[in-house]
Amino acid sequence: MTLNEIAKKMCAKGKGILAADESTGTIAKRFKSINVENLEKNRLGFRQTLFNASAMKDFIGGVILFDETIKQKTTLGSTIPELISKQGAIPGIKVDKGAKPLAGSNEETITEGLDGLRERLKEYYNLGARFTKWRAVYKIAEKFPSSQSIISNAHALARYAALVQEANMVPIVEPEVLMDGSHNIDKCYTVTTDVLNECYNQLHIHKVDLKGTVLKPNMIVPGSDCKDKSNSEEIAKKTLECLKKNVPSDVPGIAFLSGGQSEIESSKNLNSINRINDSNFLITFSYGRGLQASALSEFGKNQSNIEKIQKAFNHRAKMNGLSSKGEWSEDLEKESVA
C-alpha cells in the first residue's frame, strides 16, 4: 500500500482511530481514577480486551500503540500488532518522548524524541507499525503560545514527519491547542490558525508529502473555563472553516483528538462537523478518552467482565463511526445503550 492509501484506510468513512497510546505515566492517572493498580498485566488486560472487541472490525481503521504495547503478546500468543491487523485495522505507534519544558519559555513545552528516531522507526516498522504519532502541545494564556513555541514545535513535527515517511510509514501530525483556560472560541480559532500555518510551512520546508500524512488537530472550542458556551453547530462551523482555510487540500484525512471533551460531546461535535463537511477531507476521530472512558469505568468495576467492558467500547466506537458519516443522533445513543 502507498502512504496515501494507508492514510485513507486509517480515516475511511465510517471508521476512525483508537488512540490507545497512553504513556505509562498517563495510564497511571487513568487507572488511579478507577482504583486499578498500574501493572503491566493490567495495562495489557485492558488493552487486549478493547482490541478483541467486535467493534474493531467495523469502526476502527487504525490503533495507536505505546512502545510497551507494540512489543507485548496477547494471552493467546499472538503479538498485539497481529491481533490489530487480524481485526482489519492498521497498527500505529506513538514515537514522541513527551512534552518537556521549553528552555527560554519554561511554562510552555517542546516535544522531544528526535534523537535516535531513525533507528527506532526501523524497529517499529519491523514490529508491524505502518503509521506513527507525534503530539505537540500549545497552551493558551495571555502571552501564550509564544512564537518560540509555535515555531520550535512545528519544526520538530516536520523533522519527525520527514523521518517517518523515509521509513515508509504515515506520520500523524498532532498539534494540540489545549482546551484549558477561560479563553473564548474565537481565541481558539486564531491560535489554531497560527499553529496550523506554521506546521504546514515547516512540513513544506522539510519536503513532507502531505498526501501521505494525517492531521490530528483540536476542534475549535471555547476554553473549559470560558463562560460563553458554544453549541455544537457553532463549533462545527468554526472548526470546518479553520481547517478549510489552513490545511492544504493534499492532506487526505483529518482525525480529531477528543482533548477532554466528554464522550457524548466528542461524538456530537464530530457529527455536526461531518453534517456540513463540504471539503474533500475525510474527517473522523482519533480519540483516547472519547472512546475509552466508559470501557475504563467498567474495567474498574470488574476487570474480568470482558463482556461489559467490550459492550461499552463497542457502543462508543459505533457512535463515533456514525459521527464520521454525519449519521449520529441522540436517539441512536439511547437505543444502543438499552
- Among all chains, which residue has been given the C-alpha cell 512502545? 67
Question: Which stretches of 56-211 are assigned E, i.e. beta strand?
Answer: 60-65, 90-94, 99-102, 105-111, 131-138, 170-177
Q: Which of 6, 7, 11, 19 binds ligand 13P (CB under 6 A)?
A: 19
**How many CA atoms are closer than 13 Å to the CA of 77, on its beta-carbon side?**
0
Q: What is the DSSP code (8-state) at residue 73?
A: B
For ligand 13P, the closer of residues 108 and 174 by Cβ is 174
Nearer to ligand 13P, 173 or 203 (CB): 173
Question: In the annotation, is 174 catalytic?
Answer: yes
Instruction: Quote the least distance from Cβ 266 to ligand 13P, whole Å.
Output: 7
Q: Among candidates 193, 206, 215, 97, which has minimal Cα distance to 145?
A: 193
Write out the binding residues for ligand 13P, residues 269-288 only, by CB under 6 A: 287-288
Q: Is 290 in the site for ligand 13P (CB under 6 A)?
A: yes
123 carries an active-site annotation: no
* Shortest distance (Å) from residue 288 CB to ligand 13P: 3
Q: Toward ligand 13P, which CB reaches closer, 225 or 307?
A: 225
Q: Output the residue with the shortest Cβ distance to ligand 13P.
A: 288
DSSP one-letter code for 141:
B
Q: Is 69 in the site for ligand 13P (CB under 6 A)?
A: no
Whole-number Å distance between alpha carbons of 245 and 268: 23
The contact mask relative to ligand 13P for 235-274 (x = CB under 6 A, - = no) is: ----------------------xxx---------------
Under 8 Å CB-to-CB from 54, ≥6 apart: which residues? 310, 314
Catalytic pick among 22, 174, 263, 333: 174
Nearer to ligand 13P, 78 or 294 (CB): 294
Residue 225, classed as helix, strand or coil, is coil
Structure-block grid coordinates of residue 49: 480486551
Pairing of strands 90-94, 214-215: unpaired
Q: How far apart are CA 197 and CA 154, in angstroms?
A: 9
User: By CB under 6 A, is residue 51 in contact with ligand 13P?
Assistant: no
Residues that bind ligand 13P (CB under 6 A): 19, 135, 174, 257-259, 287-290
Active site residues: 174, 216
